[in-house]
Structure 1
């Protein structure tokens, strides 16, 4: 069917194909950086950071998996202002639901992994607290169970997709031509359920993260830290804590803009195809921002990458010096002009 959108809106920026090309290009660029991140964690984590090594690896693993899901395997594309979207891969509708659910689970686990980093610091700082040692395994289990069940209200409200598709079409002010042949996923027609479950997740997970961060900083800055740790150890712990806050905070703050636009577009019923593309493109850069933050913020990782670049530049200069373009030592035969 022909598009009901103005012809001037049919630009390259409004095309999902543009975003697909961008996503694949980002995957090619960022994947080597992710491998560098794995190498730094496994081989270049110093003894002073050994206690946080495996939680960093866990966090990085799920970040990379989310990045691959967003840029390679499923490539989700929203249809704001309706609470719906589609995947830029050719899949049957039920498989789209499954992949969409799994990708959301990976995002949720990344957030829980962030909280686990701060819980790890709190547990090590309070290693004499036997009560928390007993509770901690149940805390981890409870968080992962919460990841599985908090979406149940939305799953129970999944509407008939054919009817929901018609509702989405009536919601959008104009319908691009490609949507007529695209399988649209509508998790719920009740926006309040999606908003409530999202807010519940944010309060539970990020509430824990902020609580641990505040407790750790307070303990390191008060007499509690002075009694438990030497001055040098306290300084190292504070520096590590600040680095972890920056490492986890930058990617979270980076997502504030797309999340804010999504809520605004849904509440104001704004359909802007260019902005939808831009928001998804910005979100797809999350893996790049997260891994870059980790490498640049932690001094041992940053030093490793800087050393590689310096070594490479030195080798290039040495190779150029060993291969002169001109020489003054070449023997020149006598010649005569007849």
Structure 2
């Protein structure tokens, strides 16, 4: 989701013509996102290469969680890391990567705020500027509201790992709360962006105004055709007699 947030705000920033920091070349954009994706995927490769023996790791994990659920014993459980080195590695790299993504989102958001609300350089019409402001505010809502459904469960999981406590009720609640992320994201997009909201209102209220306009237009065309045919049929054509 981090890369998608970067792409979302970068796109908004690059759509502002007066923004000197916008990415205009396709090659530059490709390399930029290739770097981001490589960092996200690449930092996970070393721990996966050094996955511990699962049976030994289960015994080590039982020292931290002495009373796990029965699925721990009867189903396949994947334990990523048990050594202190890999714990520290994951903490440091994940934190650095999150900070890097937050910095990018903050940078592009600042560019949008400056060039849409503060800068006096005018390269677009006032109407276009108004639309860009509205879409930028919708983008912020589109990003923040679903992010809440991710941050709270992740923060709870990180806290439980760091402070070494495990409560099954809290764990189940986090999973349920996290499952609403997709629903919240969809609802937010529909509500904050006017075209989607207008379309959904038409569907929910069974608005048939479009069909009425179409049928009215078709009836007008039909009447015009009939009138034209009637005039043609009533026209007296001269008859040429050959002597």
Q: TM-score range by the shorter chain?
A: 0.7 to 0.9
Q: Which residue of 1 aligns with 2:68?
A: 175
Is 1:287 aligned to 2:177, yes or no?
no
Aligned CA distance change for structure 1 residues 202 and 173 (closer, same or farther; 3 Å):
same
Alignment of 1:12-51 (within 5 A): none
Query: 1:45 is matched with which residue?
Result: none
Bigger mean CA offset, 141-150 vs 296-305:
141-150
Pairs within 5 Å for 1:1-338? 110-126=1-17, 132-134=23-25, 135-189=28-82, 190=84, 191-224=87-120, 226-311=121-206
What is the CA-CA distance between 1:156 and the residue it aligns to? Answer: 3.6
Distance 2:201 2:22 in 1: 43
The answer to whether the 8 Å contact 1:159/1:187 transfers is: yes
| Post-superposition offset of 1:207 | 1.7
Question: CA distance change for structure 1 residues 256 and 128 in 2, over 3 Å: closer, same or farther?
Answer: closer
TM-score computed with the length of structure 2 as normaliser? 0.76
SS at match of 1:255: helix
Q: CA deviation at 1:221?
A: 1.4
Go from structure 1 to structure 2 and tell me whether the alpha carbon gap of 1:288 and 1:251 turns closer, same or farther (over 3 Å shift): same
With 243-252 and 190-199 compared, the bigger mean Cα shift is at: 190-199
Contact (CA 8 Å) 2:16, 2:22: kept in 1 or not?
no
Q: Contact 1:265–1:271 at 8 Å: present in 2 too?
A: yes
- The change in CA–CA distance for 1:160 and 1:296 in structure 2 (over 3 A counts) is same
Deviation string 1:47-102 (CA, Å, 9 cap, x unpaired) is xxxxxxxxxxxxxxxxxxxxxxxxxxxxxxxxxxxxxxxxxxxxxxxxxxxxxxxx
Alignment partner, residue 53 of structure 1: none
Q: CA deviation at 1:178?
A: 2.8
Tell me: higher relative CO, structure 1 or 2? Use CA pairs within 8 A at least 6 residues apart.
1
Per-residue displacement from partner, 1:152-173 (whole Å, max 9, x unpaired)?
2322442111111111122103
Contact 2:18 2:123 in 1 (8 A): no
| Unaligned ranges ≥5, structure 2 | 208-243
Residue 127 of structure 1 and its aligned partner are, at CA, apart by: 7.1
Taking a change above 3 Å as real, the CA distance of residues 177 and 129 of structure 1, as seen in their structure-2 partners, is closer
1:301-329 CA-partner distances (Å, limit 9, x unpaired): 111111111118xxxxxxxxxxxxxxxxx
State how far apart, in whole Å, the 2-side matches of 1:296 and 1:278 are: 26
Q: TM-score, normalised by structure 1?
A: 0.56
1:177 CA drift (Å): 2.5
Unmatched 5+ stretches in structure 1: 1-109, 313-338
Q: Distance between the aligned counterparts of 1:175 and 1:242, measured in 2?
A: 45
